[in-house]
Amino acid sequence: MQLKVCLIVLLFSVINSSSETLPSVSDDDLLELIRDKEKLIVLFTKPNCEKCAQFESHLENLEEDFKKHLSAVTVKATNSHLTRLYNPAKDPAIVFFRHGVPLLYSGEPDENEIYGFLEKNQSPVVKELTDKIFEHITQAATGATTGDWFVMFYGASCVECQRLHAVWESVGATLRGRINVARMDANLAGLNTAKRFKVTKLPSFLFFRLGKVYRFDLPMKDVKSFVTFAQDWYKNSKAETVPLLASPFDELVDWCVEMIKTSIAFGLDILAKHPWIWQIGVAGFGLVAITAIIALLKAGRSKPAKKETKKDKKSK
């Protein structure tokens, strides 16, 4: 009897262990984990999804390897509102957070491919550029020795830019060793570089190769489209010569022009909101003009009188 009970317990434990699933977390718990964990692997999933089930099965098999070799915690988030923040396509996705920096896995549900991709990219690959180091690092104007560069211009308040952060990291990981992938804040540390290349909308993507710049203008903004453009499709885009760096005098002129534009815009805005200021200005200008005319007339009348007095003195 005791042997039978032991066999039942053993069978139950085997069945129970085989049916273990990834820990499920809420959005609030997930945000806390992203902040606290150095390395975190998240499966964004949804019910009744065959591809989601395949991903989950592979991650369950890899969970111990991730913990042992990558020191990474693995969880899943079902119907998460954060999915679009890391994967605009809204498909089931694996996102690898390294010190909070997200990396989107865009491959197929293949165990070896998943592990190999995450294992090779345990640190962020996309470089952060600024105005001070852009030309020195990229040598964009000379097309010299640092290779090709694919740069994303973003803004902190740009929602679409934030949604492409994990995608752009995946682009960098896919092109690692062949093409340099970077990003610049077009509103702050990369403001002058954005002006130099006439970046007028965010996000914008510029590909630099051999002294030429090519603008990414494909409708799809996914990993495959970016990688294809950088590897070959850029040839179908218009090549522009990289503009030279502005001299200090050019920068001063640009600053003066911007200040004048800003002042004019501010003045017009004030006049639009307070039209009575315009009326006072016209009246004041008219008063000054009348006063000046009267002063000139008085000055003109007084001059002949002085001449007559001088003649009288001479006659005496």
Average pLDDT on 22-27 reads 96
pLDDT at 261 over 80: no
The pLDDT value given to residue 89: 80
Predicted confidence at residue 129, as pLDDT, reads 98
Strand-by-strand arrangement of the 101-105 sheet: 73-78, 39-45, 93-98, 101-105
Q: Which of 41 and 295 is assigned the larger pLDDT? A: 41
In this predicted structure, what is the pLDDT of residue 81?
Answer: 93
- Backbone dihedral angles phi then psi of residue 148, each to the nearest 5 degrees: -80, 150
**Bridge partners, 215 (sequence order):** 206
Pick from 2-16, 49-63, 182-196, 289-303: least confident: 2-16
Task: Answer yes or no: is pLDDT of 189 > 90.
Answer: yes
Give the chain's domain count: 3
Q: What percent of the chain has pLDDT over 90?
A: 66
Tell me the average pLDDT across 145-158.
93
Averaged pLDDT score across all residues of the chain:
83
Structure tokens given for 262: 């800003």
182 near 127, Cβ under 8 Å?
A: yes
**208 and 135 housed in the same domain:** yes
Residue pLDDT, tens place only, 56-106: 999 999 999 999 999 999 999 999 999 989 988 877 899 999 999 999 999
Q: Are residues 204 and 231 in the same domain?
A: yes
CA atoms within 13 A on the CB side of 62: 29
Structural domain boundaries, residue 43 = 13-120
pLDDT given at position 146:
85
Domain assignment of residue 284, yes or no: yes
Residue 73 lies in a domain: yes
Residue 315 lies inside a defined structural domain of this protein: no
pLDDT (0 to 100) of residue 268: 58
Q: For 103-141, what is each residue's pLDDT tens digit?
A: 999 999 999 999 999 999 999 999 999 999 999 999 998
CATH (domain of 163): 3.40.30.10
Are 144 and 200 within one domain? yes
More confidently predicted of 8 and 184: 184
What's the pLDDT band for 18 if we cut at 50, 70, 90?
very low
Is a pLDDT exceeding 90 seen at residue 271? no
- Tell me: do 222 and 255 sit in the same domain: no
- 313: in domain: no
Looking at 95, 120, 145, the residue that finishes a domain is 120
Residues 159 and 227 in one domain: yes
Pick the last residue of a domain from 72, 94, 120.
Answer: 120
Return the pLDDT at 90: 73
Lowest-confidence region among 172-186, 224-238, 275-289:
275-289
pTM (two decimals): 0.74
Please check the confidence at residue 277 and state whether its pLDDT lies above 70: no
Q: Of the candidates 125, 80, 87, which has an alpha carbon nearest to the alpha carbon of residue 106?
A: 87
Residues 6+ apart with CB under 8 A from 120: 173, 176
51 and 81 part of one domain: yes
Predicted local distance difference test score (pLDDT) of residue 12: 32
Instruction: Tell me what the mean pLDDT of segment 221-237 comes to.
Output: 96
Mention every residue, 6+ apart, whose C-beta is less than 8 A from residue 127. Answer: 137, 180, 181, 182, 183
Per-residue burial over 103-124, b = 16 or more CB atoms within 10 Å of its CB, e = otherwise: bbbbeebeeeebbebbeebeeb
